[in-house]
């Protein structure tokens, strides 16, 4: 679901967040409109508003773990975790974490990749929020849900993303878990995000 559909319709913070995100056409390949959130991080007010909206949503949900997906989930997850009194757990690409880890694979357009997490980072029964910057195909978030939920026994409460494709409007779930999104991708120069949205296969929406 989008924030505007969940009590924040007309909230000027959402427009400011959207405008703070730079759009880079045809990166990393032709037809893709890359949503560059590094410019959002440079805008102190928009960055603060982004964190505040997530914090307002999750502060009373008894979240004990905020899991951030490498790499841009690391930019928002720790601030949210600190504000709501939860621990932060990084979900990383292979061979980036020391100690014993568990791995969950997910499919790419060509081949596979995986997310790893340290085995002692999450306990059975922990209430988890998964954070990333953007949801497109849903593959990485799905792997994170499996990693925390099925593999470690945590209760995944929700996935929170800054940007999501408009196809996810309405009550949306990913692997049975709700997805909360602040803004849609922006379009410029008559370019569209069609190449991304055509790959949006794993999020099921109703309502």
By annotation, the residues acting in catalysis are 72, 109
Backbone phi, psi, residue 75, to 5°: -80, -25
Compute, in degrees rounded to 10, the torsion defined by CA atoms 139, 103, 90, 35.
-20
Alpha-helical regions (H) of the chain = 12-20, 38-42, 44-58, 73-84, 139-145, 194-197
Alpha-carbon distances of 137 from 49, 151, 191, rounded to whole Å: 26, 22, 19
Q: For residue 36, count other CB atoms closer than 10 A to its CB.
A: 15
Q: Which two tokens stand for residue 36?
A: 């560059």
Whole-angstrom distance, CA of residue 138 vs CA of residue 129: 15
């Amino acid at each position: 679901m989008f924030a505007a559909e969940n009590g924040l319709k007309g909230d000027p913070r959402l427009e400011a967040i959207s405008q703070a995100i730079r759009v880079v056409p045809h990166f990393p390949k032709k037809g893709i409109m890359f949503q560059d959130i590094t410019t959002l991080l440079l805008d102190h007010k928009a960055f603060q508003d982004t964190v505040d909206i997530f914090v307002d949503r999750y502060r009373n949900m008894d979240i004990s773990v905020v899991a951030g997906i490498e790499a841009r989930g690391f930019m928002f997850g720790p601030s949210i975790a600190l504000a709501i009194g939860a621990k932060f757990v990084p979900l990383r690409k292979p061979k980036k974490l020391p100690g014993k880890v568990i791995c969950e694979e997910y499919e790419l357009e060509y081949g596979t990749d995986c997310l790893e997490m340290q085995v002692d980072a999450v306990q059975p029964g922990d209430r988890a929020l998964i954070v990333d910057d953007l949801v497109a195909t849903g593959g990485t978030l799905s792997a994170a849900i499996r990693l925390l939920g099925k593999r470690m026994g945590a209760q995944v409460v929700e996935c929170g993303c800054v940007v999501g494709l408009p196809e996810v409007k309405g009550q949306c779930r990913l692997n049975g878990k709700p997805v909360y999104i602040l803004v849609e991708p922006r379009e410029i120069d008559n370019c569209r995000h069609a190449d991304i949205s055509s790959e949006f296969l794993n999020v099921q929406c109703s309502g």
